[in-house]
Amino acid sequence: GENVEQHPSTLSVQEGDSAVIKCTYSDSASNYFPWYKQELGKRPQLIIDIRSNVGEKKDQRIAVTLNKTAKHFSLHITETQPEDSAVYFCAARGDSWGKLQFGAGTQVVVTP
């Protein structure tokens, strides 16, 4: 089955700096890679996703890149703000019925 590794586990950045989270996956058949943001005690919320036929996708200050050859994908947050502080999870779709395999999460702390 699919296996997703996520790094780093914690990330501290100064407000205004950029943050990058990296994930690798094992199943070359995976074709959908969402990113979720989870604030303390709340539900994971989908913030951006990318499909395997696209190399990069951007939404305002958030971007995701995918390298299918190397089987890794990354989340980039530019001009970080305190409200970006949360746990971020990457995931890969491992089967045709939509089951997602999640990474272990990255705790992002943005200090003013």
95 binds other proteins, rule: CB under 8 A? yes
Contacts of residue 18, defined as CB under 8 A and 6 or more positions apart, other chains included, come to 76, 77, 78, 79, 80
Nearest approach, Cβ of 68 to other proteins (angstroms)? 15
Stretch that binds other proteins, among 19-27, 61-69, 75-83, 88-96 (CB under 8 A): 88-96
Using alpha carbons, list the distances in angstroms from residue 100 to 2, 67, 110: 9, 19, 28
Q: Which is nearer to other proteins, 73 or 89 (CB)?
A: 89
Q: At 83, phi and psi to the nearest 5?
A: -70, -5
64 binds other proteins, rule: CB under 8 A? no
Nearest approach, Cβ of 16 to other proteins (angstroms)? 28
Using alpha carbons, list the distances in angstroms from residue 76 to 17, 31, 80: 11, 20, 10
Nearest approach, Cβ of 99 to other proteins (angstroms)? 5
31 binds other proteins, rule: CB under 8 A? yes
Nearest approach, Cβ of 37 to other proteins (angstroms)? 11
Q: Return the bridge partners of 36, or none.
A: 46, 89
